[in-house]
Amino acid sequence: MALTLSKNAFHGKRTGPVVIVVMDGVGLGPDYAGNAVKAARKPVLDQLMATCPWTKLAAHGVAVGMPSDADMGNSEVGHNAIGAGRVFDQGAKLVAQAIADGKMFAGKGWNEIVGNSLAKSSTLHFIGLFSDGNVHSHLDHLKAMIAEAKKRGVKKVAVHALIDGRDVGETSALEYTEPFEAWLAALDPNYGIASGGGRMNITMDRYEADWSMVERGWKTHVLAQGRTFPSASAAVKALRLEKPGIIDQDLPPFVIERGGKPFAPIIDGDSVVFFNFRGDRSIELSKGFVGEVPFQRAKVDVCFAGMMTYDGDTNLPPRILVEPPVIDRVLSEYLIGMDVRQLAVSETQKYGHVTYFWNGNRSGYLDQSRECYIEVPSDRVSFDERPWMKAAEATDALINELTKRPYGFARINYPNGDMVGHTGVFEAARMGVEAVDLVLSRLLPVIKKLNGVALITADHGNADEMYEIDKKGGVKMENGRPKAKTSHTLNPVPFIVYDPAHAGSYALRTDIAKPGLANVAATALDLMGYQAPEGYEPSLIAWR
Residues 6+ apart with CB under 8 A from 397: 345, 374, 376
Torsion of CA 69, 71, 72, 77, to 10 degrees: -90
Active site residue 75: yes
Cα–Cα distance, 78 to 35 (Å, whole number)? 21
Helical H runs in 64-199? 75-84, 91-100, 103-106, 108-120, 139-152, 173-187
C-alpha pair distances (Å), 40 with each of 201, 235, 463: 29, 38, 10
Task: Name the burial class of residue 314, with classes exposed (0-12), middle (13-18) and buried (19+) by CB atoms within 10 angstroms of its CB.
Answer: middle
Which amino acid, one-letter code, is at 63?
A
For 371-384, b/e burial (b = at least 16 CB within 10 A) is bbebbbebeeeebb
Region label for 94, one of left (φ > 0), alpha (ψ between -120 and 50) or beta (otherwise): alpha
> Which residue in 222, 271, 264, 269 sits closest to 112, CA to CA?
271
Cα–Cα distance, 222 to 123 (Å, whole number)? 12
Task: Name the burial class of residue 287, with classes exposed (0-12), middle (13-18) and buried (19+) by CB atoms within 10 angstroms of its CB.
Answer: buried
* 25 SS3 class: strand
Contact of 476 with 483, CB cutoff 8 Å: yes
> Which residue in 25, 22, 75 sits closest to 485, CA to CA?
25
> Which residue in 83, 77, 125, 472 sits closest to 273, CA to CA?
125
> Which residue in 85, 205, 69, 183 sits closest to 136, CA to CA?
205
Residues 6+ apart with CB under 8 A from 108: none
DSSP annotation of 463:
T
Contact of 33 with 481, CB cutoff 8 Å: no
Which is catalytic among the residues 75, 117, 172, 282? 75
Instruction: Please list the active-site residues.
Output: 75
